[in-house]
Every structure is written in C-alpha cells, then in structure tokens.
C-alpha cells in the first residue's frame, strides 16, 4: 500500500519524521539517557572501530566515522564489504567491528562479519530486520525501527541508520568521558527536534522538484561536499544514478582541483551540499571555481549560507538551520528528493530500477 503516494519511495521519504522519531524514542529513557539493549558495549575498552557495509549503508558508516572521530575521539576505518572480505585485514586487539545493513542479508556484509568473528573484540550490527542473518550472528544488534522499506532505493533506512549511529556515538563519547553530561543533554535535545526539522525540509518539495526538472536533461551531474557532507554527496550521486540512470559522481570539494574540475562546463550541473558550518567558506570557494568554468550550481544550504553565497547560482534549495551534527541526516532529504523528482521527470521505474534488487544476497 503506497498510502496515497505515487511510489513507495515517495511514501518512504515522507515517513521519515515519524520513523526517525520512533528510532530516537526506542533508545532514550524518560530521563534522556541513551540505552542500548543487552548491556550495550563497553566503549572504555574499545581502541578502534572497523565499519563495513555496502552501498547506501556504507555512506552511513562514512558519516559515522566523522562523528566517532570528532565527538568520541575513536579512530574509525570504513570499508565496503566486497573489498574488506578479500583484503583480509589484520584486526588489532580492542577493535569493535560494526556492520550496517538494512536487510541484514547482504552477502558481502555477512561474509565480512564472519571474517571478524573471533578476531574483533565484539561484533555489533545496525539492522532494520531483527531476525536477519547479520543480526543473529552479531554479539549485539541495534534495530533502526524504519519499518518495511519496499523501494529499491534506500531512503528512510539510511536516515534511521544515521540516527541510531549518532546515538551510539554520543553514548560512546559520554562513556569515555570526552562528552560531559551537559553537552550530551544539548545534543539529545537537538536530536529530539530532528523529526520536526525533517518535516520542514520535506515542505521544500516544490523547490526540489523544479531543480530536479532541470537536472533531468543532464547527461552527467557532480555532487560536492566537505567533511561530514562528503558522504552525503556520495549518497546523492548514488540515488541519482540508481533511479534516474543519469551518470553522477561525488567528490570531496577539496579534491575538485586534483582532476574532476576538468569535467566542468556549461553542460554539467553541480550539486553543492553546504550548510553554513565551519567548512562553509572552503566549500563555497570550490563552488566559485565551478561557476568560473560556467558549471551550473545547485546550492543546498540554510538561509545564512544562501544569503551569503547564492548569488549567480543556477538553483538554490533552502534547508532549515540545524546543529552541525544533525546536518547529514537533514541533507539526506534533498539528496533523496532531487533523485526522486528527476526519475519521475524522466519516467523511469522509480521503485524497481533496472538491473537492481532490493536485497543483494549473492556476491
């Protein structure tokens, strides 16, 4: 049942404020403490984290790497499961291995988990299907409470993965004594406001539809982001390729001048994900390099960022202002809706894109 929407993907995008709110409330006590099932993880005994996943779930891991390193000060390695499993990396003592998977059945992720079994200190998974193989074979499985996701393009599972991973990071940081109770309480109160901020972002649907209409005639699209917005750029490019079949690539903004800027001309739209944070000025200077080469910029930022930098851009999309750590979850919305409306404009099969399966249980 598409609940009155044209596609499951649209329904699942719209469900995000509700399911994110549920995920948050499952992990918070009335007193605002973060609770993990089964006694959780002793983060004071963890020296490093290895995170492994495929596709969109791997971008959730990459985002969590920025959070774990900056907020909890734990070094994190991220790899896609198909590489990790054959690389056979050494797993040092006191390593926590984390596997993220919507289905919990992705063959490469499961094989990577089995490789870590007996080597890592503990195996944690972040899954949507609690009875899945990955959940069953983990020491601790954290459900994301996204509900059934039907569209092949992952949407609400991604934002719920990010939400649960952020709660895990905050818990780790507090347990390790690098985030005091007052700062933790501030982050938690910001998180509680996230569903309503996501709602505000969803209300910008018309802006995203009109930008997407312009994107639909492009042959190639670039996505740029810096810091924690880089994985979101990767997610935006994957969504667009997957359902609209437009060639899209994502780069860390600072990498542009090391090669990809050679691609830019008046035919290439460049989507820039840039909330007004500490890295904003750097990203904007990369964006200006694109505009100097006649690239057509779609700038996604908040009101402050747009008033400072939207002069001369092709399209601008306004996101509400949020605490820095929440920006990756919020900016998933324009990444999803740009791809969705582009696919609708092109008339592709949004929920069942060619050549793809919802769950990849073979190598």
Q: So which residues are the catalytic ones?
A: 358
Q: How far apart are the first and last CA of the chain?
A: 31
- Across the strands, what pairs with 155? none
Report the residue number whose CB is nearest to ligand M6R.
55
Which residues make Cβ contacts (< 8 Å) with residue 145, sequence separation at least 6? 19, 22, 23, 26, 128, 160
101 binds ligand M6R (CB under 6 A): yes
Least Å distance, CB 191 to ligand M6R, is: 22
Instruction: Scan residues 319-348 and list those touching ligand M6R (CB under 6 A).
Output: none
- Binder among 56, 63, 133, 204 for ligand M6R (CB under 6 A): 56
Q: Is 109 in the site for ligand M6R (CB under 6 A)?
A: yes
Residue 54 contacts ligand M6R per CB under 6 A? yes
Determine, following the binding rule CB under 6 A, whether residue 106 of this chain makes contact with ligand M6R.
yes
Q: Give the span between the Cα atoms of 248 and 63, in whole angstroms.
A: 20
Q: In terms of CB distance, is 279 or 333 closer to ligand M6R?
A: 333
Contacts for 30 with CB less than 8 Å, ≥ 6 apart = none
Q: Provide DSSP, 40-66.
A: ---GGG-SEEEEEE-HHHHHHHHHHHH
DSSP assigned state of 28: B
DSSP symbols for 15-26: THHHHHHHHHHH
Are 232 and 63 within 8 A, CB to CB? yes
Residue 144 interacting with ligand M6R (CB under 6 A):
no
Structural contact between residues 339 and 221, judged by C-beta atoms closer than 8 angstroms: no
Identify the residue among 63, 82, 103, 138 touching ligand M6R (CB under 6 A). 103
Q: In a 3-state reduction of DSSP, which class is residue 6?
A: coil
CB of 1 to ligand M6R, least distance (A): 21
Of the listed pieces 63-71, 149-157, 226-234, 254-262, which binds ligand M6R according to CB under 6 A?
149-157
277 binds ligand M6R (CB under 6 A): no
57 lines the binding site for ligand M6R (CB under 6 A): yes
What is the SS3 assignment for 149?
coil
| Binding residues among 228-267 for ligand M6R as defined by CB under 6 A | 238, 242
Least Å from the CB of residue 182 to ligand M6R: 35
Which residues in the 159-198 window bind ligand M6R by CB under 6 A?
A: none
The site for ligand M6R (CB under 6 A) is made up of: 54-57, 101-103, 106, 109, 152-154, 238, 242, 359-360
């Amino acid at each position: 049942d598409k609940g009155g929407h044209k596609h499951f993907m649209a329904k699942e995008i719209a469900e995000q404020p509700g399911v994110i709110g549920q995920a948050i409330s499952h992990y918070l006590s009335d007193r605002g403490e973060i609770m993990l099932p089964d006694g959780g993880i002793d983060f004071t005994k963890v020296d490093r984290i290895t995170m492994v996943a495929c596709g969109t779930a791997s971008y959730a891991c990459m985002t969590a790497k920025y959070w774990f390193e900056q907020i909890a000060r734990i070094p994190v390695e991220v790899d896609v499961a198909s590489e990790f499993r054959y690389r056979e990396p050494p797993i040092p003592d006191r390593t926590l291995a984390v596997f993220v998977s919507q289905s919990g059945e992705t063959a490469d992720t499961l094989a990577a988990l089995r490789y870590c079994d007996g080597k890592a200190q503990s195996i944690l998974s972040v899954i949507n299907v609690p009875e899945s193989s990955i959940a069953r074979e983990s020491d601790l499985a954290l459900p994301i409470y996204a509900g059934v996701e039907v569209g092949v393009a992952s949407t609400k599972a991604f934002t719920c993965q990010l939400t649960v991973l952020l709660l895990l990071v905050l818990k780790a940081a507090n347990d390790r004594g690098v985030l005091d109770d007052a700062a933790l309480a501030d982050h938690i109160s910001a998180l509680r406001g996230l569903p309503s901020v996501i709602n505000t972002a969803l209300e910008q649907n018309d802006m995203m539809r009109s930008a997407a209409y312009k994107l639909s005639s492009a042959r190639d699209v670039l996505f740029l982001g810096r810091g924690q917005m880089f994985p979101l750029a990767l997610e935006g490019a994957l969504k667009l390729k997957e359902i609209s079949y437009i060639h899209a690539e994502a780069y860390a903004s600072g990498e542009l001048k090391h090669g990809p800027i050679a691609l830019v001309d008046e035919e290439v739209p460049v989507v820039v994900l840039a909330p007004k944070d500490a890295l904003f000025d750097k990203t904007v200077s990369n964006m200006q390099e694109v505009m100097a080469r006649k690239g057509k910029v779609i700038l996604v930022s908040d009101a402050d960022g747009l008033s400072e930098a939207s002069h001369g851009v092709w399209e601008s999309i306004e996101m509400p202002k949020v605490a820095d750590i929440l920006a990756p979850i919020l900016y998933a919305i324009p990444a999803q809706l740009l791809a969705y409306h582009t696919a609708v404009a092109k008339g592709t099969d949004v929920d069942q894109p060619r050549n793809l399966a919802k769950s990849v249980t073979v190598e």
